[in-house]
Amino acid sequence: MEPQVKAFFDDATNTISYVVRDPAGSACAIIDSVLDFDYASGRTDTRSADEIIEYVQSEGLEVQWLLESHVHADHLSAAPYIQERVGGKIGIGDRIRIVQDTFGKVFNEGTEFQRDGSQFDKLFQEGDSFHIGQLRGDVLHTPGHTPACLTYVIGDAAFVGDTLFMPDFGTARCDFPGGSSETLYNSIQKILALPDETRIFVGHDYKAPGRDDYAWETTVGEQKARNIHVGNGRDKDGFVKMRDERDATLAMPKLIIPSLQVNMRAGQMPPADDQGDVFLKVPVNKL
Ligand SMILES: [Fe+2]
């Protein structure tokens, strides 16, 4: 089955969100939505999420799932905001518990912050399947960028999150806490073992040098032939050396501090204080 896929590109964070739709009905899933956040003012904005909600409503779609490929470090998830308006169950990988444990410590969260993934409606494991109407989705655990990263294979389309990017840009960084370039290489081999014609939808695009437009759709065959980091039979040692050297030069994403605190709570802000005010923390010299 070939799902219909509608992409939404967020300029501020280079994130691509997707609405994946059962061609035989009105069921859909929303993958990796974005809540706009201006760090300088501490203000949220729902412009990006509202665009998705408007699309879903104008097409008369029934939202069954709000899927997260991982705990993003570069943007805040809009899953709870979208869920409140159009429904759907929020899903993520069950290794989220590891991520919650790691960042629960970094942000010195108290015991009220549960590290059991219970903030999410569904925790997926490797090999799990689910349905979007008549469409079947299969879950691949593809860690490396983070310990909990998933790839959702839905019909002939694979939503790979931050593993592979477009062939001319390569792969995702592996230097966040719990990341591993060796693990990412192994995960990518799982994705590349899918049929060559499998459509691949990436989680970010940054326009590779020499490319004029953003792009987010490719295929397994194209990745195998041309991915600049792992294509053409690149071996694990070569990849690990390249990836680790490159990661050592990268700055932290602008929104990593608010993103982690919100996304490890399934997109919810930390609890309000007794005045009803909400605050995010800035850990000093921890990241
Ligand atoms: Fe990411």
Confidence (pLDDT) at 211: 95
- Greatest Cα-to-Cα distance within the chain, rounded to the nearest angstrom: 58
How far is it, in rounded angstroms, from Cα 235 to Cα 25? 43
What residue spans of the chain are helical by DSSP H?
47-58, 79-86, 96-106, 181-192, 220-226, 236-247, 256-263
Report the pLDDT averaged over residues 219-228: 98
The average pLDDT across 240-262 equals: 97
Mean pLDDT confidence for 261-270 = 98
Question: How many Å lie between the centroid of ligand 1 and the Cα of residue 102?
Answer: 16
Q: What single-letter DSSP state applies at residue 253?
A: P
Q: CB of 78 within 8 A of CB of 33?
A: yes
The pairing of beta strand 150-154 with beta strand 135-141: antiparallel
Distance 72 CA to ligand 1 centre (A): 4
What is the rounded average pLDDT of the residues 71-91? 98
CA distances in angstroms from 107 to 27, 53, 194, 262, listed in the order given:
38, 32, 38, 11
Instruction: Please determine, for residue 287, whether its predicted confidence score (pLDDT) is greater than 90.
Output: no
Mean local confidence (pLDDT), 249-268: 97
Phi, psi of 13 (to 5 degrees): -125, 5
| Predicted local confidence at residue 117, as pLDDT | 98
179 and 148 Cβ atoms separated by less than 8 Å: no
SS3 94: coil
CA–CA gap between residue 168 and residue 209 (Å, rounded):
8
Q: List beta partners, residue 37.
A: 44
Cα 154 to Cα 10, 22, 249, distances in angstroms = 23, 10, 35
Residue ranges of E strands in 147-193? 150-154, 157-161
At position 33, the amino acid (one-letter code) is S
pTM for this entry: 0.97
Q: What pLDDT, on a 0 to 100 scale, did the predictor assign at position 218?
A: 98
- Rounded to the nearest angstrom, the distance between the alpha carbon of 145 and the centre of ligand 1 is 7
Q: What is the pLDDT of residues 151-206, one digit of tens each?
A: 999 999 999 999 999 999 999 999 999 999 999 999 999 999 999 999 999 999 99
List pLDDT tens digits, range 82-108.
Answer: 999 999 999 999 999 999 999 999 999
Name the token pair of 74: 């570069």
Ligand 1 centroid distance, CA of 74 (Å): 6
Please give the domain boundaries of the chain with CATH numbers for all domains: 4-249 (3.60.15.10)
Q: Give me ligand 1 centre to Cα 223, in Å.
A: 19
State the distance from the centre of ligand 1 to the C-alpha of 253, rounded, in angstroms.
10
If you measure from the C-alpha of residue 200 to the centroid of ligand 1, how many angstroms do you get, rounded to a whole number?
A: 16
Q: Under a CB-based contact definition with an 8 Å cutoff, are residues 165 and 171 in contact?
A: yes
What is the Å distance from ligand 1's center to 226 Cα? 22
- pLDDT (mean) for 238-265: 97
Q: Mind listing the pLDDT tens digit for each residue in 2-57?
A: 999 999 999 999 999 999 999 999 999 999 999 999 999 999 999 999 999 999 99
The mean per-residue pLDDT over the stretch 279-287 comes to: 94
Q: What DSSP letter does each residue of 224-237 carry, written as one string?
A: HHH-TTT-TT--HH
CA of 62 to the centre of ligand 1 (A): 27
Q: How many CB atoms lie within 10 A of CB 269?
A: 16
275 CA distance to ligand 1 middle (Å):
33
Residue 1 — very low, low, confident or very high, per pLDDT cuts 50/70/90?
confident
Q: Is 21 left (phi over 0), alpha (psi -120 to 50) or beta?
A: beta
